[in-house]
Amino acid sequence: ETGVTQTPRHLVMGMTNKKSLKCEQHLGHNAMYWYKQSAKKPLELMFVYNFKEQTENNSVPSRFSPECPNSSHLFLHLHTLQPEDSALYLCASSLGYRPETEQYFGPGTRLTVT
Amino acid sequence: SQKIEQNSEALNIQEGKTATLTCNYTNYSPAYLQWYRQDPGRGPVFLLLIRENEKEKRKERLKVTFDTTLKQSLFHITASQPADSATYLCALPPPYGGATNKLIFGTGTLLAVQP
Protein backbone atom coordinates (compact mmCIF):
# COMPACT_ATOMS: atom_id res chain seq x y z
CA GLU A 1 0.00 0.00 0.00
CA THR A 2 1.39 3.37 -1.02
CA GLY A 3 -1.09 5.49 0.93
CA VAL A 4 -2.81 6.61 -2.27
CA THR A 5 -6.17 5.04 -3.09
CA GLN A 6 -8.17 5.28 -6.29
CA THR A 7 -11.77 4.35 -7.04
CA PRO A 8 -13.14 2.73 -9.03
CA ARG A 9 -10.39 0.33 -10.07
CA HIS A 10 -12.17 -0.49 -13.31
CA LEU A 11 -14.69 1.57 -15.28
CA VAL A 12 -16.49 0.93 -18.54
CA MET A 13 -18.42 3.85 -19.95
CA GLY A 14 -20.12 4.83 -23.16
CA MET A 15 -19.15 7.92 -25.08
CA THR A 16 -22.20 9.83 -23.88
CA ASN A 17 -21.80 8.98 -20.18
CA LYS A 18 -20.53 11.19 -17.39
CA LYS A 19 -18.40 9.60 -14.69
CA SER A 20 -15.84 10.64 -12.11
CA LEU A 21 -12.59 9.11 -10.89
CA LYS A 22 -11.61 9.63 -7.27
CA CYS A 23 -8.20 9.73 -5.65
CA GLU A 24 -7.42 10.07 -1.95
CA GLN A 25 -4.03 10.25 -0.27
CA HIS A 26 -3.39 9.58 3.43
CA LEU A 27 0.20 10.82 3.47
CA GLY A 28 -0.23 14.46 4.36
CA HIS A 29 1.08 15.50 0.95
CA ASN A 30 0.37 18.85 -0.68
CA ALA A 31 0.78 18.09 -4.37
CA MET A 32 -1.43 15.74 -6.39
CA TYR A 33 -1.16 14.61 -10.01
CA TRP A 34 -3.23 12.90 -12.70
CA TYR A 35 -1.39 10.78 -15.29
CA LYS A 36 -2.63 8.81 -18.29
CA GLN A 37 -0.89 5.55 -19.19
CA SER A 38 -1.77 4.01 -22.55
CA ALA A 39 -0.39 0.71 -23.81
CA LYS A 40 3.16 0.97 -25.18
CA LYS A 41 3.30 4.68 -24.31
CA PRO A 42 5.02 6.49 -21.46
CA LEU A 43 3.08 8.04 -18.62
CA GLU A 44 1.61 11.36 -19.68
CA LEU A 45 1.16 14.06 -17.09
CA MET A 46 -2.32 15.58 -17.31
CA PHE A 47 -2.82 17.89 -14.32
CA VAL A 48 -1.01 18.97 -11.18
CA TYR A 49 -2.47 20.58 -8.08
CA ASN A 50 -0.28 22.14 -5.42
CA PHE A 51 -2.02 23.22 -2.20
CA LYS A 52 -5.38 22.81 -4.02
CA GLU A 53 -4.36 25.19 -6.82
CA GLN A 54 -3.98 23.87 -10.35
CA THR A 55 -0.42 24.49 -11.46
CA GLU A 56 -0.25 22.35 -14.59
CA ASN A 57 -2.65 21.53 -17.39
CA ASN A 58 -0.80 19.64 -20.11
CA SER A 59 -3.08 20.69 -22.97
CA VAL A 60 -5.68 18.17 -21.86
CA PRO A 61 -9.00 18.16 -23.76
CA SER A 62 -11.88 19.81 -21.92
CA ARG A 63 -13.76 16.50 -21.73
CA PHE A 64 -11.43 15.83 -18.76
CA SER A 65 -12.16 18.15 -15.86
CA PRO A 66 -10.14 17.93 -12.64
CA GLU A 67 -11.25 19.03 -9.21
CA CYS A 68 -9.23 19.31 -6.01
CA PRO A 69 -11.45 20.26 -3.04
CA ASN A 70 -8.60 19.81 -0.54
CA SER A 71 -5.03 18.54 -0.41
CA SER A 72 -6.15 14.97 0.28
CA HIS A 73 -8.69 14.49 -2.50
CA LEU A 74 -8.50 14.73 -6.26
CA PHE A 75 -11.21 14.00 -8.80
CA LEU A 76 -11.22 13.62 -12.56
CA HIS A 77 -14.62 14.26 -14.11
CA LEU A 78 -15.18 12.60 -17.46
CA HIS A 79 -17.77 13.40 -20.12
CA THR A 80 -18.23 12.71 -23.81
CA LEU A 81 -15.08 10.61 -23.97
CA GLN A 82 -13.65 8.96 -27.07
CA PRO A 83 -12.49 5.33 -27.45
CA GLU A 84 -8.88 6.56 -27.61
CA ASP A 85 -9.29 7.82 -24.05
CA SER A 86 -9.29 4.20 -22.87
CA ALA A 87 -6.23 3.86 -20.66
CA LEU A 88 -4.98 3.44 -17.11
CA TYR A 89 -5.45 6.68 -15.17
CA LEU A 90 -3.01 7.08 -12.34
CA CYS A 91 -3.12 9.48 -9.44
CA ALA A 92 0.03 10.42 -7.57
CA SER A 93 0.96 12.67 -4.67
CA SER A 94 4.14 14.20 -3.29
CA LEU A 95 5.09 16.04 -0.14
CA GLY A 96 5.72 19.22 -2.10
CA TYR A 97 6.08 20.35 -5.68
CA ARG A 98 9.80 21.09 -5.50
CA PRO A 99 12.18 19.21 -7.80
CA GLU A 100 13.37 15.75 -6.76
CA THR A 101 10.35 15.10 -4.55
CA GLU A 102 9.41 11.44 -4.69
CA GLN A 103 5.98 10.73 -6.16
CA TYR A 104 3.66 8.11 -4.65
CA PHE A 105 1.24 6.50 -7.06
CA GLY A 106 -2.15 4.92 -6.56
CA PRO A 107 -3.10 1.62 -8.23
CA GLY A 108 -4.90 3.36 -11.08
CA THR A 109 -8.34 3.20 -12.67
CA ARG A 110 -8.56 1.08 -15.81
CA LEU A 111 -10.95 3.00 -18.07
CA THR A 112 -12.60 1.51 -21.14
CA VAL A 113 -14.66 3.77 -23.39
CA THR A 114 -17.08 1.90 -25.65
CA SER B 1 12.48 18.13 -27.81
CA GLN B 2 13.41 15.97 -24.86
CA LYS B 3 13.48 12.25 -25.67
CA ILE B 4 13.92 9.31 -23.30
CA GLU B 5 14.69 5.84 -24.61
CA GLN B 6 14.45 2.59 -22.74
CA ASN B 7 14.75 -0.87 -24.24
CA SER B 8 11.28 -1.69 -25.48
CA GLU B 9 12.12 -5.37 -25.66
CA ALA B 10 11.78 -7.45 -22.53
CA LEU B 11 14.94 -8.44 -20.70
CA ASN B 12 15.02 -12.10 -19.72
CA ILE B 13 17.68 -13.25 -17.29
CA GLN B 14 18.39 -16.21 -15.04
CA GLU B 15 17.89 -15.97 -11.31
CA GLY B 16 21.09 -14.98 -9.50
CA LYS B 17 22.49 -12.99 -12.44
CA THR B 18 22.83 -9.21 -12.63
CA ALA B 19 20.18 -7.40 -14.62
CA THR B 20 21.22 -4.18 -16.36
CA LEU B 21 18.63 -1.79 -17.76
CA THR B 22 19.43 1.28 -19.84
CA CYS B 23 17.91 4.75 -19.99
CA ASN B 24 19.17 7.11 -22.70
CA TYR B 25 18.12 10.70 -23.14
CA THR B 26 18.79 13.39 -25.73
CA ASN B 27 18.85 17.13 -26.21
CA TYR B 28 19.11 17.94 -22.56
CA SER B 29 21.19 17.73 -19.39
CA PRO B 30 18.84 16.93 -16.50
CA ALA B 31 19.82 17.80 -12.96
CA TYR B 32 18.65 14.40 -11.72
CA LEU B 33 17.03 11.17 -12.78
CA GLN B 34 14.67 8.78 -11.00
CA TRP B 35 13.91 5.08 -11.37
CA TYR B 36 10.52 3.54 -10.63
CA ARG B 37 9.22 -0.02 -10.60
CA GLN B 38 5.76 -0.90 -11.91
CA ASP B 39 4.02 -4.23 -11.40
CA PRO B 40 1.04 -5.29 -13.56
CA GLY B 41 -2.18 -3.60 -12.44
CA ARG B 42 -0.36 -1.25 -10.07
CA GLY B 43 1.07 2.23 -10.07
CA PRO B 44 4.81 2.91 -10.24
CA VAL B 45 6.84 2.78 -7.04
CA PHE B 46 9.85 5.05 -6.51
CA LEU B 47 13.18 3.26 -6.17
CA LEU B 48 16.14 5.63 -6.49
CA LEU B 49 17.10 9.19 -7.38
CA ILE B 50 20.53 10.13 -8.69
CA ARG B 51 21.79 13.68 -9.23
CA GLU B 52 24.00 14.92 -12.06
CA ASN B 53 26.99 15.30 -9.75
CA GLU B 54 26.66 11.70 -8.50
CA LYS B 55 28.28 8.96 -10.54
CA GLU B 56 26.67 6.09 -8.70
CA LYS B 57 23.95 5.40 -6.11
CA ARG B 58 23.25 2.14 -4.29
CA LYS B 59 20.34 0.75 -2.33
CA GLU B 60 20.55 -2.87 -1.18
CA ARG B 61 20.83 -4.94 -4.42
CA LEU B 62 20.14 -1.93 -6.64
CA LYS B 63 22.75 0.30 -8.24
CA VAL B 64 22.21 3.27 -10.52
CA THR B 65 24.83 5.12 -12.54
CA PHE B 66 24.50 8.47 -14.29
CA ASP B 67 26.84 9.33 -17.14
CA THR B 68 26.14 12.90 -18.22
CA THR B 69 28.66 12.66 -21.06
CA LEU B 70 26.99 9.62 -22.61
CA LYS B 71 23.55 10.95 -21.57
CA GLN B 72 22.76 7.59 -20.07
CA SER B 73 21.72 5.98 -16.81
CA LEU B 74 22.20 2.30 -16.06
CA PHE B 75 20.09 0.46 -13.51
CA HIS B 76 21.55 -2.75 -12.08
CA ILE B 77 19.92 -5.42 -9.95
CA THR B 78 22.46 -7.85 -8.53
CA ALA B 79 21.61 -11.42 -7.46
CA SER B 80 18.28 -11.05 -9.26
CA GLN B 81 15.22 -12.94 -8.04
CA PRO B 82 11.93 -13.86 -9.73
CA ALA B 83 10.28 -11.28 -7.44
CA ASP B 84 12.29 -8.59 -9.25
CA SER B 85 10.24 -9.26 -12.40
CA ALA B 86 8.44 -6.01 -13.25
CA THR B 87 8.60 -3.02 -15.59
CA TYR B 88 11.25 -0.46 -14.67
CA LEU B 89 10.73 3.18 -15.64
CA CYS B 90 13.22 6.01 -15.72
CA ALA B 91 12.01 9.58 -15.30
CA LEU B 92 13.67 12.96 -15.78
CA PRO B 93 12.62 16.54 -15.15
CA PRO B 94 11.76 18.37 -18.39
CA PRO B 95 14.09 21.08 -19.71
CA TYR B 96 11.51 23.75 -19.01
CA GLY B 97 10.38 22.33 -15.69
CA GLY B 98 11.88 25.07 -13.58
CA ALA B 99 11.40 24.73 -9.85
CA THR B 100 8.68 22.12 -10.21
CA ASN B 101 8.38 18.39 -9.69
CA LYS B 102 7.29 17.64 -13.25
CA LEU B 103 8.71 14.43 -14.68
CA ILE B 104 8.95 12.92 -18.15
CA PHE B 105 8.81 9.13 -18.07
CA GLY B 106 10.31 6.56 -20.40
CA THR B 107 8.18 3.72 -21.74
CA GLY B 108 9.87 1.28 -19.38
CA THR B 109 11.67 -2.03 -19.77
CA LEU B 110 10.03 -5.29 -18.74
CA LEU B 111 12.38 -7.49 -16.74
CA ALA B 112 11.62 -11.20 -16.41
CA VAL B 113 13.79 -13.20 -14.02
CA GLN B 114 13.57 -16.92 -14.65
CA PRO B 115 13.93 -19.32 -11.69
Q: What was the pLDDT predicted at A7? A: 98
Contact residues on chain A for B106, CB-CB shorter than 8 A? 42
Phi, then psi, of B14 in degrees rounded to 5: -85, 145
Nearest residue of chain B to residue A57 (CA atoms): B102
Residue A80 pLDDT exceeds 80: yes
E strand intervals along B52-92: 56-59, 62-67, 72-77, 86-92
CA distance A47 to A65: 9
**What mean pLDDT is reported for chain A?**
95
Q: Which residues of B touch A90 (CB under 8 A)?
A: 43-44
- At residue B3, the pLDDT reads 83
CB < 8 Å to A56, chain B:
100, 102
Mean pLDDT of B11-21: 97
Do the chains contact at A94 and B43, CB–CB below 8 Å?
no
Instruction: pLDDT band for A11, please (50, 70, 90 cuts).
Output: very high
**Any CB–CB contact under 8 A between A10 and chain B?**
no
pLDDT at A76 over 90: yes
Instruction: Measure CB to CB from residue B106 to each of A42, A96, A105 and give the nearest one.
Output: A42
CB contact under 8 A, B44 and A2: no
For residue B27, the model assigns a pLDDT of: 82
Record: contact A90-B44, CB cut-off 8 A:
yes
pLDDT at B57 (0 to 100): 97
Q: What is the percentage of chain B residues whose pLDDT exceeds 70? A: 97
Is B101 in contact with A4 (Cβ distance < 8 A)?
no
Look at residue B28 in the predicted model and tell me its pLDDT.
84
Report the mean per-residue pLDDT for chain B: 93
**pLDDT score for B1:** 67
Using an 8 Å Cβ cutoff, are A77 and A18 in contact?
yes
A83/B contact by beta carbon, under 8 A: no
Instruction: Write the pLDDT tens digit of every residue in B48-96.
Output: 999 999 989 999 999 999 999 999 999 999 999 999 999 999 999 988 7
- Supply the pLDDT for residue A33: 97
Q: What is the 3-state secondary structure (H, E, C) of chain A?
A: CCCEEEECCEEEECCCCEEEEEEEECCCCCEEEEEEECCCCCCEEEEEEECCEEEEECCCCCCEEEEEEECCEEEEEEECCCHHHCEEEEEEEECCCCCCCCCEECCCEEEEEC
